[in-house]
Structure 1
Amino acid sequence: MQNQYRLGIDAGGTFTDFILADRKGEVRLFKALSTPQDPTLAIRNGLKLIEEETGISPRDIVSNSDLCINGTTVGLNALITHNGAKTGLIATKGHEDSIEIRLGHKEDGYRYDPEYPPATMLVPRYLRRGVSERVISTGAVHTALNEEEVREACRHFLREGVESVAISFVWSVLHTAHEQRAAEIVREMMPDVRLTVGSQLYPQVREYTRTSTAIVNAYLAPILQRYVEAVDAYFQSLGARHPVRYFQSNGGLALGNVVSEQSVYAINSGPASAPQAALYIGAPWDLKNIITVDMGGTSFDITLTRDGRANVSKNIDFLRYRIGIPMIQVETLGAGGGSIGWIDSMGLLQMGPQSAGSDPGPACYDQGGERPTTTDANLILGYLNPDGLVGGRLPLNVENARRAIKTHLADPLGLTVEQAAFGMFTIVNNNMVNAIRRVSVERGYDPRDFVLNCAGGATGAHIMALAREMGITKVLISKLASGLCAFGQILSDVKYNYMAPAPVRLEGAEAAAKLDALFNGLEARGVKDLQADSFTEDRISVRRSLDMRYVGQVHECTVDIEAFTIDEAALERLKAAFHARHEELYTYSEPQSPVEVVNVESAISGAVDRPARMTVAPGTGAHAALKGTRPMIFNAEGIVQDTPVYDGALLGAGDVLTGPAVIQEVTTTLVIEPGWKVDLDATGVYVVTLTAAV
């Protein structure tokens, strides 16, 4: 049977996850160690692993898949390590340093720190060339483009071996001809370089944001192009009948050529699929307010959905670089299974953000790691199976973990190894709780109104403690939790964002007609692009947003609206939506003040058929899955408690157990603390509820 599979691949810092679903509703999860030096190697290794466990060859999987989807950290890693392409910038003369001036702004938390170092410039000063040209805020040309200066910039770039070029001029979004002509000259003189044109990539008002976004895109484009070409070629060699789709930071899928051209959309693609998976998991209970926490080997990611919609951010500083394009809001910190424990200059125990990653990994991996990590602490506390992880394929060395904690933490702090391990566990949990507060409390959301959803291989050992600290009384843990982002990818639709500048005050029929025409034009482009990608009109949907502010304000906020005809009467509807959003964000609104629009955006999606929901056969009682007991520690004193251990593969739908307990799934371990009850649902989701304060 053709097209019987769907394959999702999510490359993380430590593991690459593979989700293989078929039309019968069987969904299987596999893990392979990530290979940052050659990301395609992890894909080959993972498909080989699937063949070993299922007998299905990579060729049979790929050639019989309706979709093969790849979420990649290639762009993210290049930005973190500053290992992108050698990039040149052509800017309006006098504005070459706007990316270094950065609006005079330091990141939040460091604004008054004189010793905080400046961000590393992705384009060094000698590769920024200003050219004479000027468009003013009305869109009129003040100074014509000096084409010879553009040619001189190209000659300079050729001498310096530049691989990628970004073009960004002042007010270019209101008059694109100068950037377009400069682009023609670059293509003529530098046919082999990758080119990013700011007004095409990010056609929105705000020069600094547009220039920075264009530079990040140019910096990553050659890296992503090589990666996409390698992955596409590999899948084609396996007989792929459909093009590989790549997951974007906006929460949707895209073709490889789109990701190559708009590489900035692929920066944080992995965790961006978590909200889609969370809503799918919560659907049987009609749960729409969900906080998803994803703890892998390297990082901890948090996403939030409210009323069934994921938080989307624009115009943010990501890894210290301003990026304007819409991205699923992901709060990330260095708190993973590989987070290293250390003692600071004041003699206090700290966890991360340094990570042992997958190479050498935690001390207990027995691969050369000597520093104590979160995984080592969890092993000492009894939470992890001492026989090994990932079904025993990754053996654990308890003595190595004990030695690392004793040498580097316990002895210097005058603690037992068990006390130090629980201290590590507590501190990394506090770090994660603070991050959860940033996406909930600090944005006006009460976390007690949400359920907590588990993602990532390491989260299951911590999620009960996190929920208790946040006052959350219900937790969802899918059997696919450790590969939840890969699962979210196979549930996601194709999605593209189309933008336009719209500096207009919300007054009069002319303003309404302008906005209506802009939206209709953007959406006609989007529908045409999706129809060219084989989507019929009934599978295409539209979401709109406007960047709005009170006249005289410096900054705007994004207001989401449904698609409707914008006439003069509808302007009041837009104003009301803005007032409500402003009050939600800032606790006040000014209904008497005039409102203006700065930018508009339409998100166009093409719906993809979803695979059948997985099911779990009815159980015969949790006792049938009991494997024995293991000594575990749930307190700071290091007191050992004999705790039941259950085999997750033997639990069935309707089976109920209470904490303290541990459920061992093949790719993750769930630590059920005292006071919690677990009920396995037929959809393969453990529903965990707090029954007593502890």
Structure 2
Amino acid sequence: MKQVSVDIGGTFTDCFLVWDDIYLETKALTTHHNLALGFMEALEQACKELGKDIRTVLSQLDSVRYATTLGTNALIERKGPKIGLLTTAGYESQVPLSRGRGYGDGLTPQEQQDLPAGQRPEPIVPIPMIAGIRERIDYKGDIVMPLDEEHLRQQIRHLVDRGTQAFVVGLVNSVVNPVHERRVEEILLEEYPTHMLGAIPVILSHQVAERKGEYVRITSAILDAYLHDQMYHALSSLEMTLKEYGYNKPMLVVHNIGGMAQLNSTHALQTIHSGPTAGINAAEHLSEEFNVGHLVAMDMGGTSCDIGVVVGGGIRFYDFNPVIDRWLVSVPMLHLGIIGAGGGSIARYDKTLKHIEVGPASAGSEPGPACFDRGGIDPTVTDADLILGYLDPEYYAEGHIALNKKRSEFAIREAICDELDISVVEAARQIKKKVDTNMAHAIFKELGVKGYDPKNFTLLAYGGNGPLHCCGIAKVLDIEKILIPPFSPIFSAVGAGIMNQVNIHEKSVFMNIYDSNTRSLFKEYDRFNSIVEELEEEGKEELLRQGIPEEAIQHRLELDMRYGNQLTQTSVISPVNRLNNMAEVLELVNSFSVNYGERFGEGSQQPEAGIRINTIRVLSFIELERVEFKKPIEDQTEAPKPVSKRNCYFVDIDEPVLTNVYRTQLIQPGAVIEGPALVESPRTTYLIEPGWKLIMGEQNSAWIVNNLNNSSSDKFQTNTMAVK
């Protein structure tokens, strides 16, 4: 297996090169003006470590997998095209009204409590750019009013005259019968072929979102059109760059749903959170390999912290109607909790609340934290970590980025110390405590709303800053076990290298599997099976178009189910792909009941309310070769001698503590290191706080456990004297 996978974050671009049995990890600063530059720099570093020319490597690769936050950046910067919306006449106000409450989407819970004072988002499609067309299809898919083609041509010209650069076609009930949307596209291309206005994107809403819900479906198509231009040109330029260096295969792009596809089978909205999604995919694989049932994944990078939940058994948590920026959409994504808490998160003194706040604003990679000495003037989490002694100024990023401690001290003093009249060290302590608490609260919320207790989970800490802050977060949550995964600094890039090639097709339905009124089970087997067959055929055709042999294609059936009219929907992996008799229906009901009981407590099931299927979803995929994680070492050995010692400051200890410093390259698997200690690798630092111990594993993985037998304050004070 020869492959490269890259995850482009807000601060760093992570690269993972697999060359047969050699695994190499590298990082480069993200180049926001041209993502291909950071990509190629990280890849070139890996090629140098491998001892091969970059052209030689690219010409022999099996695949290049790519995850990016390009779409997120485009939304933040509002750099999209001018969009014209064609919708069913009489429904022109549907998007501007946004269900009468849509302007609350994307606001914090505190802001949502006072919606009249909430700031409304600037519309992506202003009212003058919306045109109604005469047509109507009913909820069953029957044509009530044929498409008035002459009126349609007039409306198209009207929008073009207003400067439309991309068209969105969102007609009522088009997911049931898309015939009118397809005809609109044909007429658009007839009226304005590419030789007249260029390649104007035409986005059909039923192709972006396949479930009912007019507002969220059309909003999904609008966002897709808005992101299309920048994503297409950026990824196309990257693909061209790869071809110039000898890579002639299609590039694979990671999707939010937890799979990947070729660029020509990817629409923009599918890539919006593809980097963190790849990390969750890697966490699921690790859960299977290490036999760890319940993991809460925490990816703390330079810009944000992404949180996901892995419970095993193939169960995944989706956002069926996620909020992207300020808009509700209808494209299912793996659920992620995202908070502005990374190494580059800016710390400040809030004069209203009279305490230190951290994030969500970030210094990113340009200019970066103050200690990067690249023009940044705001104090960040990384600056606080440097002041507390956790980072080696001369070994950060293996010495490629020299840290300037005086810059950190100046930034923290100016922004915080002068306001609170405290020392720089105390301000740094409060910054660390605040960011750890923020992430712990976010994790508690993510687990709590799903019905789980954090104490029953292992914290999986990765990303450039995850191993540095994991002990502080676990302490707040009363979590006793932390797992640092293999290749933790670039774990999301590793996840892209583990993914299968997947596409998903779904259909909104209303099926009573158990009708509580008549006390009868579902019997419309032909109706159910015909929908599944149709979705499987769509998935198969999509993969065949990407050059996949038919015999390699597999399908998995997922159903979104709920009790009666409950708002809570649960995604269930169906034990069978077809329903043919009552026994199979009962097997499905039992799977739903078991899944529901595990999440919300045994006895919470409510079959007396009825059981419904709301969505039928088919995952069509091919299984690809995967990266192998080496399992933890059971035999424990003594720790090596530390390479150095330095004073570190901890949140709950007043005086500095002389702390042993180790290097991962010198630690044998199975070595036990008692906290407090620092374990430095070329791209991250593991902080073992007092009361914890680390057990080193293969591929720089590690267990960090609550060391109850060695955590008494008397023993700690005896063994760790500070240098005065």
Q: Same fold (TM over 0.5)?
A: yes
- Of 247, 254, 276, the match for 2:281: 276
Distance in 2 between the 1:509 and 1:552 partners?
17
| Partner Cα distance (2:568, 2:181) in 1 | 26
- Name which of structure 1's ranges 616-625 and 499-508 shifts more when overlaid on structure 2: 616-625
Rounded Cα–Cα distance in structure 1 between residues aligned with 2:564 and 2:283: 39
Distance 1:546 1:394 in 2: 49
Instruction: Name the CA distance, whole Å, in 2 between partners of 1:434 and 1:211.
Output: 34
- Determine whether 1:22 maps to 2:9: no
2:526 is the counterpart of 1:526? no
Helix, strand or coil at the partner of 1:440: helix
Please list the CA deviations of residues 578-598 of structure 1 after superposition, one character each: whole Å capped at 9, or x if unmatched: 556666777744423444434
Mapping for residues 478-627 of structure 1, pairs under 5 Å: 478-506=485-513, 511-536=524-549, 539-549=552-562, 558-569=571-582, 570-578=584-592, 588-613=604-629, 623-624=639-640, 626-627=642-643
CA deviation profile, 1:131-160 (whole Å, cap 9, x unmatched):
122222232222222222321232123223
Amino acid in the other structure paired with 1:98: Q
Give the CA deviation at 1:379: 0.2
Inter-partner Cα distance in structure 2 for 1:36 and 1:505:
50
For 1:371 and 1:102, locate their aligned partners in 2 and report how far apart those are by CA, in whole Å. Answer: 37
How far is 1:625 from its partner?
5.3
- Could you say which residue in structure 1 is the equivalent of 2:5? 8
The one-letter code matched in structure 2 to 1:272 is T
2:326 to 288, 305, 320: 320
Shift of 1:301: 0.6
Shift of 1:23: 1.2
Which of 648, 651, 667 is residue 683 of structure 2 equivalent to? 667
* Secondary structure at 1:525 match in 2: helix
Computed over aligned residues only, the root mean square deviation of the Cα atoms, in angstroms, reads 2.5
Equivalent of 1:424, from 427, 431, 435?
Answer: 431
SS in 2 for 1:353: strand
Determine the structure 1 residue equivalent to 2:268: 263
In the alignment, the residues of structure 2 paired with residue 386 and residue 638 of structure 1 have an alpha-carbon distance, to the nearest angstrom, of 23
What's the secondary structure of 2:84's corresponding residue?
A: strand
Find the counterpart in structure 1 of residue 718 from structure 2. none
Report the residue type matching 2:130 in the other structure. Answer: R
Query: What's the secondary structure of 1:592's corresponding residue?
Result: helix
Distance 2:243 2:631 in 1: 32
- Matched with 1:344 is 350
Tell me, which stretches of 5 or more residues in structure 2 are unaligned? 194-198, 514-519, 713-724
Is 2:389 the counterpart of 1:382? yes
3-state SS, counterpart of residue 396 of structure 1? coil
CA separation of 1:625/1:59 partners in 2, compared to 1, >3 Å: closer, same or farther? farther
Summarize deviations over 1:343-385 as a string: whole Å, max 9, x none. 1132221111111111111111111111111000000000011
- Contact 1:303 / 1:310 at 8 angstroms: preserved in 2? no
Counterparts in 2 of 1:686 and 1:554: CA distance versus 1, 3 Å: closer
**2:164 matched to 1:162?**
yes
Matches of 2:695 and 2:600, distance apart in 1: 40
Deviations 1:378-427 (Å, cap 9, x if unpaired)? 00000011214110000000111011111211121011111000000000
State the match for 1:654 in structure 2: 670
- Distance change in 2, residues 1:294/1:575 (3 Å): same
Deviates more, 1:352-361 or 1:192-201: 192-201
**What residue is the counterpart of 1:36 in the other structure?**
32
Is the alpha carbon distance of 1:164 and 1:614 closer, same or farther for their aligned partners in structure 2, counting shifts above 3 Å? Answer: farther
2-side partners of 1:615 and 1:204: how far apart? 41
Q: Which residue of the other structure, out of 469, 474, 492, is the alignment partner of 2:476?
A: 469
The equivalent of 1:112 in structure 2 is 113
Q: Deviations over 1:44-96 (max 9, x none)?
A: 22233334444322212211111111101111211222222222211112222
Q: 1:443 to 1:620 in 2, by over 3 A?
A: closer
Distance 1:243 1:430 in 2: 43
Compute the displacement of 1:231 (Å).
1.5
| Distance in 2 separating the partners of 1:556 and 1:664 | 44
Q: How far apart in 2 are the matches of 1:316 and 1:611?
A: 30
Q: Distance in 1 between matches of 2:456 and 2:151?
A: 58
Q: Which amino acid aligns with 1:316?
A: P
Tell me if structure 2 keeps the 8 A contact 1:543–1:563.
no
Amino acid paired to 2:132: G
Per the normalisation by structure 1, the TM-score is 0.94
How far apart, in 2, do the equivalents of 1:422 and 1:239 lie? 50
2:451, 2:600 within 8 Å by CA — same for their partners in 1? no
Q: Hey, what's the Cα distance between the residues in 2 that align with 1:432 and 1:55?
A: 40
Secondary structure of the residue that 1:221 maps to in structure 2? helix
Identity across matched positions, percent: 28
Q: How far is the alpha carbon of 1:606 from its aligned partner?
A: 0.9
Q: TM-score when scaled to structure 2?
A: 0.90
Specify the alignment match of 1:392 in structure 2.
Answer: 399
Q: What secondary structure does 1:546 align onto?
A: strand
In structure 2, how many angstroms separate the alpha carbons of the residues matched to 1:186 and 1:563? 43
Aligned-partner Cα distance in 1 for 2:188–2:143: 21
Tell me how many residue pairs correspond in the alignment: 688
Q: Which of 298, 301, 315 is the aligned partner of 1:293? A: 298
Structure 1 residue 617: Cα displacement: 11
Aligned residue type for 1:527: K
Does 2:56 match 1:64? Answer: no
Higher mean displacement: 670-679 or 571-580 = 571-580
CA contact (8 A) 2:290 2:632 kept: no
Bigger drift between 580-589 and 655-664 goes to 580-589
Instruction: After superposition, give the CA deviation of every residue in 1:607-642 in whole Å (9 maximum; x if it has no partner).
Output: 111134469999996654521101000135642000
Task: Tell me the amino acid that sits aligned with residue 165 of structure 1.
Answer: F
* Cα distance, 1:448 vs structure 2: 1.5
Distance (Å, rounded) in 1 between the aligned partners of 2:121 and 2:593: 36
More off after superposition, 522-531 vs 268-277 = 522-531
- Which residue is 1:460 aligned to? 467
| Structure-1 separation of matches of 2:570 and 2:99 | 18
Equivalent position SS for 2:608 = coil
